[in-house]
Chains A and B, each alone.
Chain A
Amino acid sequence: MRRYFARKVAIYLLTFFVAVTLNWLIPRFMPGDPVLRMLTRTSVSNPDAIAPMREYYNNVFGLDVPLWRQYLNYWAELLQGNMGISVWLFPAPVTEVILDAVPYTLALLIPSILLSWYAGNKVGALAARRRWLDNTVLPLGYALTATPYMWIAIVLAWSLAIIAGIFPVAGGYSFDLQPSWSLVFFNSLLQHWFLPFLSLFLVAFGGWAIGMRNMIIYELEADYANYLEALGAPRRLIRRYAFRNALLPQLTGLALQLGVLVAGALVTEIVFGYPGLGRLILMAIQNQDFFLLQGAFLFIVIGVLIANFVIDIVYVLVDPRTRTGMTGGAA
């Protein structure tokens, strides 16, 4: 088990290292000069002013030292939690801006991921059992999982919010409220949360239901299922074993899906104008706020790595083979 975790953590640290390096590398080696772009943005009319401004910016961004120094400086700043100053929300530090948005994104992601995984697995397992349910769940599941996240968000916003008027269309809370610990504010928060949550839930649900249904069918072909059947075990019991075995790949699937789910949350937030990371990224792109964009990128990477690690721990808890070091199979 120790080897299992050591391996995992090594990969996550390495991934983090690669992500940070990419983050540092891309702006520096891409065609185009970021400083020049900032200068043109400010549209200085006096040509004499350009040279000192250029020098000033080079100094501010630390571009006047050798590359390896820049790279080390970048790490040093990062480890102190300093990701620079946002251009869009000048002069707020990027870390602060992002930390304000992260709770909204997490509030969408965590419940939708957990609930869709749970419900999808249950429904999928049921569907593998009953033909009529299978005939409805399967096409529906495939339709849902093929739906782009933003489109389902658009459809929900249009039908339930604009036409039916049941839910608010945009924002994290009502515009006439100030964030506070009151019941009114909480209620508004909940109302604005529901539709983005629902769109994330629906798309992910389809995927899990199909996954579980297919896994169960494969599991029921396995030797242990045949053996149990030959022994005369009740079908319920065989199903239960199949379900528990099918859960393991679904758990791996969850780890693999994290990136996609985060991507889904980003675009859903954009549709609903929800004040999370997605809207922040959109604003950063529109305002050419590269520090904010890169900060958001690192936050997403860190979040995905932490979630992966949590899933690893859960995996060890549910799969005794990893605990005893019996990794099974080759490699």
Chain B
Amino acid sequence: MSDLARAAGEETAPSAGGEVVSAPAVPLATGPVAAAAPGARRTRDALHFALRNKKVVGGGIVVLAFLALGLIAPLFYDYGHSEYVGPQSSGPSGEYWFGTTTFGQDVFLQFVHGIRSTFLVGLLGGGLAALIGMTIGFVAGYIGGLVDEALNMLTNIVLVLPALAVLIILHTYIGITSVPSQALFIGIFSWPWVARAVRAQTFSLRTRDFVDLARLSGMGSGAIIRREIAPNMSSYLFMTFILLFGGSVLFAATLDFIGLGPTGVMSLGLMMNNAVHWSALQLGLWWWFLPPGLGITAIVGALYIMNVGLDEVFNPKLREM
């Protein structure tokens, strides 16, 4: 998690307590979206503006390029990312694009494998956090009452609990073995701000006429949330997922760097850990420790920029800023 929390503060403006002080400054869809036809048109409209937005397109290209690199590049190698294949501590060359480590491991191969795990942990961790956060937010906001109180309490507790510290304890005792299990733990501890934001939005939507109408027509709570409330904040939910994705990536990198990452899996955080541990800084092996951090910064940064662009796409008022 990096600036997810800040994003929550910035985008939903909740007070330090459960009370919402100022109205959430979030691009909510202006009118209700219920029928399929206007929904499809809205999607087409959004796509139209998204493809014309430089931030969305630029960020998207960077993210997709890294994704393709991580998916395809490892296929061309017939040796593993930790095998001692080349000369020791040699700089970037035609054969080893990013040079080799002090042990003669191929840094480029490690890098592309690291990108793979970066995307995996972002997708799974961000996805899980989004799922938990939205579920709790919708239920708390729509049902209200005691359920809301209880869920709000839970959210506030997980929110102030320093997630990394909990994860360090958990990881040390359990010993993470795979990227999905790492993502699972990250997801479990990074949802609270989403729950809070979604709750606030649901709160403001649930008294609208079209929701009342759905309730009168005998629709169940689950169906109302799914078909009436969620579609009206779909753009916001999508942007939330992007922020969670970036946060999970940074979180995983931190854990990997401390040496609590999954065993036997190469990740960008682990590359930095190895580089620092084997004195790459003192030996001047810059090709070992610069690419992993640059990769993370590029991926997460591109996601954030994309998010700004999407904000402009979904919120017409921001378009000509």
Contact = CB atoms under 8 A, between A and B. Distances in A.
| B and A form one assembly | yes
B234 to A, nearest CB: 20
Contact of B9 (A157, A158, A252, A285): A252
Contacts of B166: 19, 22, 297
Given A151-B296, A157-B281, A158-B286, A281 B258 contact: yes
A150 B257 contact: yes
Interface string B136-172: 0000000000001000110011011111111011101
Contact of A18 (B12, B157, B303): B157
Interface stretch (B18-26, B64-72, B123-131): B18-26
B235 to A, nearest CB: 16
B152 to A, nearest CB: 8
B20 A248 contact: no
Contacts, number: 259
B164 A262 contact: yes
Interface size class of B (residues with CB under 8 A): 35 or more
**Interface of chain B, main secondary structure:** helix
Interface string A1-16: 0001001100110110
Nearest to B303: A146
B10 A253 contact: yes
B16 A158 contact: no
A23 B3 contact: no
Given A256-B9, A282-B259, A15 B174 contact: no
A297 B272 CA distance: 24
Nearest to B14: A252
A239 B159 CA distance: 32
B161 A18 contact: yes
Contact of A221 (B250, B305, B317): B317
A263 B9 contact: no
A148 B297 contact: yes
Contacts of B225: none
B21 A248 contact: yes
A218 B25 contact: yes
**Interface of chain A, main secondary structure:** helix
Interface string B279-297: 0011010100110111011
B8 A319 contact: no
B296 A214 contact: no
Contact of B281 (A158, A281, A297): A158
B1 interface: yes
Contacts of B18: 7, 331
Interface in A287-304: 290, 293-294, 296-297, 300-301, 304
Interface in A50-96: none
Nearest to A307: B160
Contacts of A142: 301, 304-305, 308
B168 A211 contact: no
A297 B168 contact: yes
Interface in A9-50: 11-12, 14-15, 18-19, 22-23, 26-27, 30-32
A-B interface, 9 closest residue pairs, ranked by CB to CB distance from nearest: A151-B293, A253-B9, A256-B5, A146-B301, A259-B162, A263-B164, A146-B300, A329-B20, A327-B19
